[in-house]
Structure 1
Amino acid sequence: MPDDLPRPEPFTPRTSPAALEDLRARLRATRWPDSPEDAGWSLGTDLAYLRELVAYWADAFDWPAREAALARLPRFRVPLGGLGIHFVHARAAAPAGPVLPLVLSHGWPDSFWRYSKVVPLLTDPGAHGADPADAFDVVVPDMPGYGYSDRPTGPPLDSIAVAGLWAELMTVLGYPRFGAAGGDIGSHVSRYLGLDHPDRVVGVHRMDAGVPIFSGDPAELAPEERAWLDGAVAWGTTEGAYAAMHRTKPQTAAFGLTDSPAGLAAWIVEKLRAWSDCDGDIERCFTKDEILTNVTLYWLTGTIGSSMRMYRANAAIPPAQHARRVEVPSGFSRFPGDLVRPPRAWMERTANTVRVTDPARGGHFAPFEEPELYAEELRAFFRPYRTAAAG
């Protein structure tokens, strides 16, 4: 590594007993709201389910065991752009050919947690019934203001700036060329990696095409594109209140969510249920331990406010940036339980789309919900580009 590049340092957090006791005390002292009879999930988070989850969190959830399990991933921190960035860096276990470096970008409300199940499937495919030649070196950073990465003290970073940080991170790790993949905000970051670093990115895989933004003549759009845009507006009306808050007044929500672990869980759990392929039963996709691992990461790192502020930064990205077309080879996996699934015409309009698939199962958090399916999607898409990265 050149002397002028920052050096990653191994990172293994250890939560103090005092922090866990404070968490449990707050959970046991929760002041519960009322709820109309039989409201269920129709007005937001279901009161009965959250009471059950919070009781488990306070008295049965074993965070030290979950923290130790996450510590089995090779994790590091490195200074980039004036911030300490936390990331997983897992190398291919037994490569049988060119190894493709791959940077995976997460979204909200998650962190490196989103990819914790899929990392071993990608680094050691031979041990999981797949072709050893499809092995990746996997890099999973926490975005600034998420997880164990530093929270920006000034203006939040948008997806363009984060893509620049990830390109720098891949340089620090010695990868001149690499693949990029992601979902949710991570789709935006992956897109800008392809747009701003096309000489380095061999391909971009996304689970979605982002919130549709189009400022041209609607007559230019195919009928399925117009229908998709209309559907996205309807979705925003019924499901988008959280995003409006994040874009406009994130600090207001941050006070309560940072102070109340039950409130934090309500804010996140409702999205895990609504956006996963669970048919209304959240524990079809996530166990209580898995849900609470994600929520506890937010609680202990105090990052719910800083994570929400990234929405505000992205809302300020100029329209001309949204109109740019990704020219590096692009692929999309449209999981059936995801939010607003784009038509192929839109994907081809906005990117050099070479592969589109519709997996049988999975939702917005498919890398965690269906890690085997997601891993196979990445193997298949990036297979033709391994030689390009090696060269």
Structure 2
Amino acid sequence: MNDIRPFRIAVADEVLDDLRTRLRRTRWPERETVADWSQGAPLAWIQEVCRHWAEQYDWRRREAELNRFAQFVTPIDGLDIHFIHARSPHPGAMPLLITHGWPGSIVEFHKVIEPLVDPPAHGGEAADAFHVICPSLPGFGFSGKPATTGWGVDRIAATWARLMERLGYARYGAQGGDWGSAVTTAIGALDAAHCAGIHITLAMSARPNVVGEPTPEEVRALNGIKYYAERDSGYSKQQSTRPQTLAYGLTDSPAGQAAWILEKFWAWTDCDGHPETVLGRDELLDNVMLYWVTATAGSSARLYWESFGPDRRTRHQVDVPTGVAVFPKEIVTPVRKWMEGSFANISHWREMPKGGHFAAFEQPALFVEDVRRFFRTLR
């Protein structure tokens, strides 16, 4: 069945009224006992953001901006999949499948889709044009919420391959960050007959493999691993072990949902200590809104439950050409030597001058230029 239905974001007024009521009635905790973020998102900033959210933030304007992209829903494997499908006007455009992660959404790509689709309108060359396909992960945003277990990375990758087939794309490229990197890696391994190459910013499946004295690149990554394990991974342990318990509080409290997400934008962006130095408050809230209005705190967290654990980890052998963009403030920066055992054809490797985990969101120009550069070799 090739049922593809047009979709527009249209959040009900009652949902927005309820959101504002909840924000105004938030029961706040006491402030942290430190002068930094070491105990989590500071009370004063979260209160300020939530006041803005309730009193100034204009969802209808933001909704209209997101609706400038053509969007669709199609059922695959029993689940409705929401996706942006932005077609290029230029002949020979290459289909490009881009995938977000947690706590991101399609909002991460709102600044890069148009430059990828229509390069001449954004200082580029028509020869670098893409048809961009940007799905919402199952359980995220406006995609359906899995009602059964089994929706891990490989199943999502197989679903994305079927989506591309349904759209008539026999040859395509794939790009992703965070969980999108894992899904993109799986696509490169499982759909090599159609996927011409992959571009990633995080190597989730690569394991440290230090022989002798670690190189500077290995030291940087090892420091990231140590910090993540000791100071930054509590959210992952909770979401991978008890996502349902977490869902009650985050689904009921917009302030709680905002703090849970926004703390990661402090921790994982290249922001000099404050996320609003690199991302605007409204676009940060746009991303939070895609969790709030869809009540997907629990269903998005379950991707961790599906993916982590002794019986759930999968390592893939990827033989298609692979491009890697290394952003300096990534959680754990990729190390080429650690990747080479699983990625047989790393044909592009670039150390970026700035940027963090949310590459397309934080540094759209650098992201677009690197994606163009890599896939130029595969056209």
| Paired residue secondary structure (2:298) | helix
Q: Which of 246, 263, 267 is matched with 1:270 structurally?
A: 263
CA contact (8 A) 2:224 2:331 kept: no
Quote the Cα distance in structure 2 between the aligned partners of 1:376 and 1:354.
Answer: 16
Which residue identity does 1:167 align to in structure 2? Answer: A
Aligned to 1:341: 333
Q: Which amino acid aligns with 1:196?
A: L
**Match of 2:361?**
368
Q: CA RMSD in A?
A: 1.8
Written as runs of structure 1 = structure 2, the 5 A alignment for 1:120-269 is: 120-210=114-204, 212-213=206-207, 223-224=214-215, 227=219, 228-229=221-222, 231-269=224-262
CA contact (8 A) 2:100 2:177 kept: yes
- Code of the residue aligned with 2:214 in structure 1: it is P
Matching residue's letter, 2:340: E
Who is 1:325 aligned against? 317
Partner in structure 2 of residue 297 of structure 1 = 290
What residue is the counterpart of 2:95 in the other structure?
Answer: 101
Q: What is aligned with 2:66?
A: 70
Question: Alignment partner of 1:385: what SS?
Answer: coil
**Is this contact kept in 2: 1:6–1:80, CA < 8 A?**
no
Give the TM-score normalised by the residue count of structure 1.
0.92
Instruction: Calculate percent identity across the aligned residue pairs.
Output: 43
2:6 aligned residue: 10
- TM-superposition CA deviations, 1:251-277 (whole Å, max 9, x none): 111110000000000000000111111
Which deviates the most, 35-44 or 277-286? 35-44
Deviation at 1:336, TM superposition (A): 1.5
- Structure 1 CA distance, aligned partners of 2:177 and 2:246? 24
1:40 and 2:33 correspond? no
Partner secondary structure for residue 77 of structure 1: strand
> CA–CA distance in 1 between the matches of 2:227 and 2:43?
26
Q: What is the SS of the residue equivalent to 1:349?
A: coil
Q: Which residue of 1 aligns with 2:342?
A: 350
* Amino acid corresponding to residue 105 of structure 1 in structure 2: T
TM superposition shift of 1:15: 1.4
Q: 1:328 to 1:317 in 2, by over 3 A?
A: farther
Work out the CA distance in 1 between the residues paired with 2:224 and 2:358. Answer: 21
Aligned pair partner of 1:28 in 24, 27, 30? 24
- Distance in 2, matches of 1:202 and 1:50, equals 43
Q: Is 2:112 aligned against 1:118?
A: yes
Gaps of 5+ in 2: none
Aligned residues: 376
Measure, in 1, the Cα distance between the counterparts of 2:246 and 2:206: 26
> Any unmatched runs of 5+ in structure 1?
387-391
TM-score by structure 2 length?
Answer: 0.95
Within 2, Cα distance between the matches of 1:222 and 1:56?
A: 50
SS of structure 2 residue aligned to 1:223: coil
SS of residue in 2 equivalent to 1:117? coil
Deviation at 1:367, TM superposition (A): 0.4
- CA shift at 1:219, angstroms? 7.0
Partners of 1:366 and 1:381 in 2: how far apart?
16
Aligned-partner SS, 2:341 = helix
